[in-house]
Amino acid sequence: MTEPTYAGLPTFLRRPPASDFSQADVVVLGVPYDLATTHRSGTRLGPRAIRAASLMLAWCPPYAWDFDPLERLRVVDGGDVHFDPGRPHEAPAAIRAAFAGLAGQGVLPLALGGDHFISYPILQALHAVHGPLALVHFDAHSDTWRDEVGRIDHGTMFFHAAAEGIVDPARSIQLGMRTHNAETHGYRVVDARELHAIGVDAAVAAIRERVGDHPCYITFDVDFLDPAFAPGTGTPVVGGFSTHEALRLVRGLAGLRVVGMDVVEVSPPYDHAEITALAAASVAQELLAVAACRPTA
């Protein structure tokens, strides 16, 4: 409370930096990677921007909850995943290895992206421990376009994840899509038209029915938000959702068996007054509260 929000070490929500995760419940890891983008780059700067914006949130718990997730969970900031930008083909393995280490210790990861491709190696790492995962996916894009094996692209990784059995489409749900893809690959797709029509409460019910008690991974692409609320992203699409709606949707996930989560696609060069970074940091804070409510067995 005595340190100004504009000073000090910019860890996520002022959590202590750590390299030893043996006593942690949740580890925040940045993944400053944007080599899979198909339009505007810049999301490699996303983790730093989200952390800086989170300092404005660190002085109090999220207002809509009756507890402070930081009092229930031991959360540390593990810094950023390291990879050599001169060897871009090695980055997926480096990401996978970093999150495999967390999963092997029974630690819940919260990843800060980076472009959305980073979810794929994270899912691979978690699948090795938990088996096929349910995916709860907030986005303007389905990211399930068909692609050849081995390509690194932020619009195809959930096609690969389904094809390889890493995620179980029959347990998975995608929300907010407002770009056309005729193939669902078995995912339940609640596109923007349907989500706007049915509203938050019905959408939450659909998520909970779809996922059930299956281990699930929550991924939040900031372009789920309308560009009016999140201009700082690489592939903005109009007709999206407000931050208020997004936070309500995330809160509705309390009680799911969450094994991992991420917030991705913040591109600071296109942001204004840090509103996209602040939205992402706020979603990440809500995800910590959701994690604090997950079943322990």
Residue with the two structure tokens 């472009």: 115
Tell me the H-state helices in 212-256: 243-251
Q: Tell me whether residue 131 is in a domain.
A: yes
In the chain, the number of structural domains is: 1
Q: Tell me whether residue 242 is in a domain.
A: yes
Contact yes or no for 54/285 (Cβ under 8 A): yes
Q: Tell me whether residue 15 is in a domain.
A: no
Q: Tell me whether residue 16 is in a domain.
A: no
Q: Tell me whether residue 191 is in a domain.
A: yes
Q: Tell me whether residue 5 is in a domain.
A: no
Q: Which pLDDT score, from 0 to 100, does residue 188 have?
A: 97
Pull the structure tokens for residue 88: 């871009």
Pull the structure tokens for residue 197: 């029509």
pLDDT confidence tier of residue 1, bands split at 50, 70 and 90: low
Q: Is 141 annotated as a binding residue?
A: yes
CATH number at residue 134: 3.40.800.10
pLDDT confidence tier of residue 297, bands split at 50, 70 and 90: low
Angle at 64 between CA 60 and CA 68, to 5 degrees: 45
pTM: 0.96
pLDDT surpasses 70 at 42: yes
pLDDT surpasses 80 at 2: no
Q: Is 77 annotated as a binding residue?
A: no
Beta strands in 194-257 (DSSP E): 216-221
Q: Which pLDDT score, from 0 to 100, does residue 150 have?
A: 82
Q: Which pLDDT score, from 0 to 100, does residue 154 have?
A: 85
Q: Is 84 annotated as a binding residue?
A: no
pLDDT surpasses 90 at 285: yes
User: Of 247, 280, 294, 257, whose CA–CA distance to 72 is shortest?
Assistant: 294
Q: Mind listing the pLDDT tens digit for each residue in 179-188?
A: 999 999 999 9
56-65, 98-107, 142-151, 174-183: least confidently modelled range: 142-151
Pairing of strands 134-138, 216-221: parallel
Q: Is 221 annotated as a binding residue?
A: yes
Q: Tell me whether residue 10 is in a domain.
A: no
97-106, 144-153, 215-224, 253-262: least confidently modelled range: 144-153
CA torsion, points 202, 203, 205, 206, in degrees to nearest 10?
120
Question: Domain range for residue 66?
Answer: 25-292
Contact yes or no for 29/11 (Cβ under 8 A): no
Contact yes or no for 98/14 (Cβ under 8 A): no
User: Of 108, 93, 116, whose CA–CA distance to 216 is shortest?
Assistant: 108
Burial class of residue 148, CB neighbours in 10 A (0-12, 13-18, 19+): exposed
Q: Tell me whether residue 276 is in a domain.
A: yes
